[in-house]
Amino acid sequence: MDGALATPLNLFPGTGEMAVRMRAHDWSATVLGPAETWPTALAVMVGVALQAATPMAVYWGPDLAILYNDAWGALVGGKHPSALGRPAREVFPEVWPELGPMFAQMLSGDGAVEVQDQRLVLDRNGAPEEVFFTYSLNPVLEADGQVAGVFNVAQERTGRVRAAASLTESEERFRSFAENSANVLWIADPGGNRLECLSPAYERVWGDRRELVMGDLGRWAALVHPDDRGRAFAAMPRLLAGETHTVE
């Protein structure tokens, strides 16, 4: 390995928790061996991860020993800091049936993998927990062109996925209620230009077909008496701003 990378400070740059831990770690007791003997590719990728704000990890060798930065450590909860330097299958036994084949694909040279919002049941705080991650697995090559490790960039998406699911559920409840309501209920797009939902009661109350007015609010306006039309449409900006408004 390059002499410029031979000192612990250069191998593990930075002042973050993981940089400090890596400099103090007894690497000779791990499958990776003494840090001073590491391949240049491994040393470089670890240095990149330690200086990054995004969660990043390096999985190295046949055992996929894990080295990671502070942000990645925060993602795995109670698995940190004992995950450092250990084989991935030991750190993530509960999800290895899902993750193992992807890592095997990487090591066999099949190319990078990107996963969006993957559901995993992860034990990171003493109990199984449903979580969602978006991440990429990228091959790291040695000088001979062989895949020697995997560079992982990850983001947890649990909060966003659950919020989206909650919104979808809320919209479905509204649509179900609207379909069975005797009142005319509707949802307009944010610009107030078209309707995204219109209850069946519209046809009974207005004597018009729903599909004709969904994309053309001007058609509905034409059905409103000219004396009321201005007041009715003047309320639209206030409704779109989140205000409750009543027009008689």
- Of 89 and 223, the one with more pLDDT: 89
Q: Assess whether 54 and 166 both reside in one domain.
A: no
Of the residues 156, 177, 197, the one at which a domain ends: 156
Q: Assess whether 126 and 167 both reside in one domain.
A: no
Among 3-7, 92-96, 220-224, top mean pLDDT goes to 92-96
Least confident of 25-34, 150-159, 230-239: 230-239
76 lies in some domain: yes
Q: Assess whether 141 and 193 both reside in one domain.
A: no
* Reported pTM: 0.70
Boundaries of domain holding 196: 162-240
Cβ neighbourhood burial of 217 (10 Å; 0-12, 13-18, 19+): middle
pLDDT at 196: 78
Q: Assess whether 172 and 68 both reside in one domain.
A: no
Residue 68 backbone dihedrals phi, psi, to 5 degrees: -150, 165
User: How far apart are the C-alpha atoms of 5 and 34, rounded to whole Å?
Assistant: 13
The confidence band for 79, taking pLDDT boundaries of 50, 70 and 90, is: very high
Q: Assess whether 52 and 141 both reside in one domain.
A: yes
Number of domains in the chain: 2
Q: Assess whether 28 and 81 both reside in one domain.
A: yes
pLDDT tops 50 at residue 5: no
